[in-house]
């Protein structure tokens, strides 16, 4: 019988639980989905709080959340499939078997931002103002959601002997291995970015600043954490998420610099 426990031998911690929380009429409900849902709810509540401070009707965020959620899931799956297509060549229909795993946060981010932009254009709402409150909830949701990877025994890194190493059973290796808990690295980084974005609101000069800071800060951490992961999507010898992270840093920097110039032009 496979020992599927999660152990942090250097910290004296051991977790024995199934990735499946419970079943309803034979349908498995996994901890991953529950944790993602909790992250979504917490993120939405936080964004609603900041929306009220900015005199934004919270119902606008609710409308966007309802529309953006399915779009984000579709884009997250499409992103994963596009950059890992070999996995599906023998069974194209498995592309739709999303319950088996295989989504990417950058794909979800692209989808969510795209649909938000379209919504704001149609409703004639300031896109950057909405994003500046939305990213607070987004990064908090990401920080919480990464614990879904912990429950699924996925998104871990290369083998290591560091004191905080995580020991799990690897189905690829067919044995228990000790690895970087990269899910934890990113969760902690995301929580830090969440706090930094709140702090940076005090220095906001123009709509879009917080979105720009989010792109820069989140992607900076993701770039370095991705280098430790053992399951990266690849384009040749390059990690897709690192390429996207660099692009996001460039876009975020362009937004912040552009806003700063507009600010100084008015002085």
**Which residues fall in the annotated binding site?**
146
pLDDT at 23: 92
Picking from 84, 86, 51, 80, the residue whose alpha carbon sits closest to that of residue 65 is 51
pLDDT at 262: 52
pLDDT per residue as tens digits for the range 206-245: 999 999 999 999 999 999 999 999 999 999 999 999 999 9
* Contact call for residues 18 and 151 (beta carbons, < 8 A): no
Whole-number Å distance between alpha carbons of 47 and 61: 8
Average pLDDT over residues 85-109: 81
Which pLDDT band holds residue 100 (cuts at 50, 70, 90)?
A: low
Which pLDDT band holds residue 263 (cuts at 50, 70, 90)?
A: very low
Whole-number Å distance between alpha carbons of 237 and 225: 17
pLDDT at 99: 67
E strands in the chain:
6-8, 13-15, 20-24, 27-30, 166-170, 175-179, 234-235, 238-239
Which pLDDT band holds residue 94 (cuts at 50, 70, 90)?
A: confident
């Amino acid at each position: 019988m496979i020992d599927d426990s999660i152990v942090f031998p250097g910290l004296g911690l051991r977790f024995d639980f199934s990735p499946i929380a419970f079943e309803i009429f034979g349908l498995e409900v996994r901890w991953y989905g529950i944790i993602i849902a909790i992250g979504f709810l917490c993120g939405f509540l936080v964004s609603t709080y900041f929306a009220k401070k900015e005199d934004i009707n919270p119902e606008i965020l609710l409308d966007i959340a309802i529309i953006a959620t399915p779009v984000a899931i579709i884009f997250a799956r499409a992103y994963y499939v596009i950059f890992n297509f070999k996995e599906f060549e023998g069974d194209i229909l498995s592309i739709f078997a999303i319950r088996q795993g295989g989504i990417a946060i950058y794909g979800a981010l692209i989808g969510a931002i795209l649909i938000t932009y379209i919504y704001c254009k149609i409703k004639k709402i300031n896109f950057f103002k909405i994003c500046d409150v939305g990213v607070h909830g987004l990064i908090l949701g990401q920080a919480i959601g990464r614990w879904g990877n912990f429950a699924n025994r996925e998104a871990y890194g290369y083998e290591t002997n560091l004191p905080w190493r995580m020991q799990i059973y690897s189905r690829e290796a067919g044995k228990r291995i000790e690895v970087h808990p990269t899910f934890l690295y990113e969760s902690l980084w995301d929580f830090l970015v969440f706090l930094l974005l709140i702090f940076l609101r005090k220095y906001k000069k123009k709509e879009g600043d917080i979105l720009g800071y989010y792109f820069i800060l989140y992607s900076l951490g993701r770039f370095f954490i991705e280098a430790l992961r053992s399951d990266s999507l690849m384009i040749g010898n390059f990690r897709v998420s690192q390429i996207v992270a660099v692009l996001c840093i460039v876009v975020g920097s362009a937004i912040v610099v552009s806003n700063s110039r507009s600010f100084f032009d008015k002085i």
